[in-house]
Amino acid sequence: MSQAEVSPAEVSRTEVSRTEASAAVGAGPRRQTAAGFAALFRSELWLTFRRTRTIALLGILAVLPVLIGVVVRIETGDSSNGGGPAFIAQVSQNGLFLVFTALALALPIFLPMTVGVVAGDSIAGEAATGTLRYLLVAPAGRTRLLAAKFTAGLVFCLAATMAVVVAAVATGAALFPLGEVTLLSGDTIGLGAAVVRAVLVAGVVALSLSGLVAIGLFISTLTGSGIAAMATTVGLVITVQILDTFPQLHAIQPFLFTHQWLSFGDLLRQPMHWDNVLQNLGLQALYVAVFGSAAWARFTSRDITA
Amino acid sequence: MTTAPHTEQARGRVAAVGPTPAAAPDDVIRTSGLTKRFQGGQLAVDGLDLTVPRGSVFGFLGPNGSGKTTTIRMLMGLIAPSSGVATVLGAPMPQSVGAVLPRVGALIEGPALYGFLSGRDNLARFDAADPTSDPRTRARRVTEALDRVGLTAAAGKKARAYSLGMKQRLGLASALLQPRELLVLDEPTNGLDPQGMREIRALVREVAAEGTTVFLSSHLLDEIEQVCTHAAVMSKGRLVVQGTVAELAGRAQGRLVVRTPDVAAARDVLVQHRVTDLRTDEARLDGLATAVDEESLPRLCAALVSAGVRVHGFGVERGTLEDAFVALTGEGFDVAG
């Protein structure tokens, strides 16, 4: 209201107030700025982590290593018999191994489930509540909105992985001895070097989920129901992992996005085996390219009637 | 119409303060042959030719299901037309969404909010979506917008706790985060109590007085009559008529109605007093009251009485947009099948 009534003298005082005053009466269009462009990405991150749901998912992921740690601690005598999940035998010798055990347990089910919820809901959830139409008339720009959603999805992957890692380190340090780490290849490295490996592994695990983010985003552009998109994405993860266990399907298995997920164990050898890890990351990049393009093609051409 | 001076005032101010008003095209919205056929084959909008002049408060009128919202969605680039052209602020839609929409504020099919965010955070979120809005002035603009719609006290409350009226206001606030050239309001008074409706109308007039063109859709005829300078009427996906509200209401002029058993004598008196288009019934006759004003009305009644006509009833029934609508479409103002 007030800007339309600014007197000419006040208008000429600064450039900013002149632009605003002329816009008030409907003259010049405003320019897009870098800060303005980036604002949606920041807003998207802020929105993701403001949701109670996100915090609850991260909480569940953080409880997992605590549970494993406690179980191993109670059953220490039997854990060295070679059964159970990967790396679990090493946990009682060195608490840091709880990180790898927890990641190996979380990666097939819990991590993709949380990522499926966040990625699947990204566009469909906004469509279901109607906020999508207000974002688009703001105008967010469909490509920019999709990019912001994808970025927030990737950051969530990292946050989810870190939730597991941090809880595992804390639990491991509390319940088990720390110290020199004996790798899977039998070599021994110092604690500092082992922590670097743990960070590296966490990064690889987070990136392993990027293909799933793209798939979830694509599914999210297909429907106006957040629940349907989440359920489909999580269902797909489970289906793909079942397919990965059929020996008859070994020809297509290298192309399943879950196939090389557990290859991060190769980084716990001396020297590190990068072949499968790189193959995994390459495959994730392929999935991001294919499903990212599909999501873009679908979203930029779709009628928004919700 | 009481709103006419506002428009004149608005135009004057644009010409006085705006740097290049002459360069701007005069029509804020222009569509030609705009058509939308949905995938099921349903024809929602059929060959729409709409012109919204700059500075007008334009009422977009029609029953529920007549294609108003589909038209607005096409104008806002949310859905692509099947054929035809839509031009908003001189640029084709949906191709020019990025350049046009920062200058447009919109409320489409009711408010939609993030229930887990406060009213203030909701506005910050929608403002962040606009790449042309300055993050440094965001907090101030959000505060001003909240103040303008009277939500300052509830700004920190979670939006899910808002009443429908408060949500509607917050939606309006998000349309007013920036100075706009065009404000598109789809049924802005839906769900509001009479007091809330009055406040929204006052706000619309205020915004229009600043030089913003307002495009207001409604299925409430009296709402359009109260705030709009221009109007268009939709029915079953087609544009029935458009023009100034005065013109449209003029199509359904008031009629003078006389109830009497002495129809023939009354008719003679009315003809002498230049009442035209006379229609007679058994005990009733009516005619166009163009030449009759408040002063001549009692004299006309006296003339009837002195001519020995037994006047049982006498009065002018005012013409409304509703009469115009019924006259134009030959149907009631119900939900279109």
Count CB pairs under 8 A between chains A and B.
160
Residues of chain B with CATH 3.30.70.980: 254-318
Q: Do B97 and A141 touch (CB under 8 A)?
A: yes
Token code pair at residue B47: 């060959």
The 3-state DSSP composition of chain A as helix, strand, coil percent (nearest 5) reads 75, 0, 25
d(CA B67, CA B43): 9
Give me the amino acid identity at A88.
I
d(CA A11, CA A2): 12
**Among B257, B235, B232, which Cα is nearest to B247's?**
B232
Give me the amino acid identity at A163.
A
- Burial of residue A303 (number of CB atoms within 10 Å: 0-12, 13-18, 19+): middle
- What lies within 8 Å, CB to CB, of A255 at 6+ separation is A283
Q: Do A22 and B135 touch (CB under 8 A)?
A: no
Integer angstrom CA distances of residue A144 from A28, A129, B80: 24, 20, 19
Q: Do B73 and A305 touch (CB under 8 A)?
A: yes
A73 touches chain B (CB under 8 A): no
Residue A35's CB is within 10 A of a number of other CB atoms, namely 13
DSSP 3-state of A83: coil
Question: For the stretch A288-301, what's the b/e string if a residue is b when 16 or more beta carbons lie within 10 angstroms of its beta carbon?
Answer: beebbebbbebbee
If you measure CA to CA, which chain B residue comes closest to A141? B98
**Among B217, B209, B148, B215, which Cα is nearest to B178's?**
B148
Q: Which pLDDT score, from 0 to 100, does residue B17 have?
A: 33
Q: Which pLDDT score, from 0 to 100, does residue A306 have?
A: 73
Contact A4, B210 (CB under 8 A): yes
Looking at the complex, report in whole angstroms how far the Cα of residue A131 sits from the nearest Cα belonging to chain B.
Answer: 5
DSSP 3-state of B45: strand
Q: Do A140 and B129 touch (CB under 8 A)?
A: yes
**Among B169, B66, B157, B170, which Cα is nearest to B117's?**
B157
Looking at the complex, report in whole angstroms how far the Cα of residue B214 sits from the nearest Cα belonging to chain A.
Answer: 12
pLDDT tens-place string over residues B74-89: 999 999 999 999 999 9
Token code pair at residue B42: 């349903």
If you measure CA to CA, which chain A residue comes closest to B107? A134
Q: Do A22 and B148 touch (CB under 8 A)?
A: no
Contact A235, A252 (CB under 8 A): no
d(CA A79, CA A92): 8
**A245 domain-assigned:** yes
Query: Which residues sit opposite B238 in a β-bridge?
Result: B235
**Pairing relation of β-strands B83-88 and B57-61?**
unpaired
Residue ranges of alpha helices (H) inside chain B are 4-17, 68-75, 97-100, 119-129, 138-148, 164-175, 194-209, 221-227, 245-251, 263-272, 296-306, 321-329
If you measure CA to CA, which chain A residue comes closest to B99? A29
Helical (H) or strand (E) element with A21: helix A15-24
d(CA B7, CA B227): 11
A305 touches chain B (CB under 8 A): yes
Integer angstrom CA distances of residue A253 from A247, A250, A273: 9, 5, 20
Q: Do A135 and B174 touch (CB under 8 A)?
A: no
DSSP 3-state of A147: helix
Number of Cα atoms under 13 Å in the Cβ half of residue B60: 29
Looking at the complex, report in whole angstroms how far the Cα of residue B10 sits from the nearest Cα belonging to chain A.
Answer: 9
Contact A45, A155 (CB under 8 A): yes
**A108 domain-assigned:** yes
**A26 domain-assigned:** no
**Among A48, A153, A113, which Cα is nearest to B116's?**
A48
Residues of chain B with CATH 3.40.50.300: 4-250
Token code pair at residue B107: 């409320």
The 3-state DSSP composition of chain B as helix, strand, coil percent (nearest 5) reads 40, 25, 35
Looking at the complex, report in whole angstroms how far the Cα of residue B148 sits from the nearest Cα belonging to chain A.
Answer: 9
Q: Is the pLDDT of residue A1 over 60?
A: no
d(CA A143, CA B67): 28
d(CA A288, CA A293): 8
d(CA B2, CA B307): 39
pLDDT tens-place string over residues A254-297: 888 988 888 888 888 888 889 899 999 999 999 999 999 999 99
Structural domain boundaries enclosing A180: 34-301
Low-confidence ranges of chain B (pLDDT < 50): 1-24, 335-337
Q: Which among A27, A33, A43 is the nearest to B20, CB-wise?
A: A27
Q: What whole-number percentage of chain A has pLDDT above 90? A: 52
Contact B23, B60 (CB under 8 A): no
Token code pair at residue A191: 């604690």
Q: Do B108 and A134 touch (CB under 8 A)?
A: yes
**Among B196, B144, B329, which Cα is nearest to B251's?**
B329
Q: Which residues of A touch B37 (CB under 8 A)?
A: none
Q: Do A23 and B128 touch (CB under 8 A)?
A: no
Q: Which residues of B touch A24 (CB under 8 A)?
A: 179, 210-211
Q: Is the pLDDT of residue A97 over 50?
A: yes
Q: Which pLDDT score, from 0 to 100, does residue A21 have?
A: 38
**Among A162, A200, A171, which Cα is nearest to A92's?**
A171
A188 touches chain B (CB under 8 A): no
DSSP string, A238-276: HHHHHHTT-GGGTTTGGGSTTTTGGGGGGGGSSS---HH
Q: What is the DSSP letter of B158?
A: B
Q: Which pLDDT score, from 0 to 100, does residue B8 have?
A: 37
Strand arrangement of the beta sheet that strand B284-288 belongs to: B276-280, B284-288, B255-259, B313-317
Residue A54's CB is within 10 A of a number of other CB atoms, namely 19
Q: Which residues of B touch A47 (CB under 8 A)?
A: 114, 117, 125
- CATH homologous superfamily of B4-250 equals P-loop containing nucleotide triphosphate hydrolases (3.40.50.300)
CATH topology classification for B254-318: Alpha-Beta Plaits (3.30.70)
**A25 domain-assigned:** no
Looking at the complex, report in whole angstroms how far the Cα of residue B249 sits from the nearest Cα belonging to chain A.
Answer: 30
A3 touches chain B (CB under 8 A): yes
User: Phi and psi for B278 in degrees, rounded to 5?
Assistant: -75, 135
Token code pair at residue A126: 């906004």
Q: Which pLDDT score, from 0 to 100, does residue A226 have?
A: 86
Looking at the complex, report in whole angstroms how far the Cα of residue B182 sits from the nearest Cα belonging to chain A.
Answer: 8
Q: Do A29 and B103 touch (CB under 8 A)?
A: yes
A40 touches chain B (CB under 8 A): yes
Looking at the complex, report in whole angstroms how far the Cα of residue B236 sits from the nearest Cα belonging to chain A.
Answer: 19
**Among A78, A74, A73, which Cα is nearest to A95's?**
A73
Q: Which pLDDT score, from 0 to 100, does residue B331 have?
A: 57
Q: Which residues of A touch B143 (CB under 8 A)?
A: none
Task: Give the pLDDT mean for A7-17.
Answer: 38
Q: Which among B76, B132, B179 is the nearest to A31, CB-wise?
A: B132
A22 touches chain B (CB under 8 A): yes
**Count of structural domains, chain A:** 1
A30 touches chain B (CB under 8 A): yes
**A6 domain-assigned:** no
A131 touches chain B (CB under 8 A): yes
pLDDT tens-place string over residues A32-87: 888 899 999 999 999 999 999 999 999 999 999 999 999 888 876 554 555 666 67
A10 touches chain B (CB under 8 A): no
Q: Which pLDDT score, from 0 to 100, does residue B115 have?
A: 94
Q: Which among A30, A35, A129 is the nearest to B112, CB-wise?
A: A129
Q: Which residues of A touch B81 (CB under 8 A)?
A: none
Q: Which pLDDT score, from 0 to 100, does residue B20 have?
A: 36
Work out the pLDDT band at A28, boundaries 50, 70, 90: low
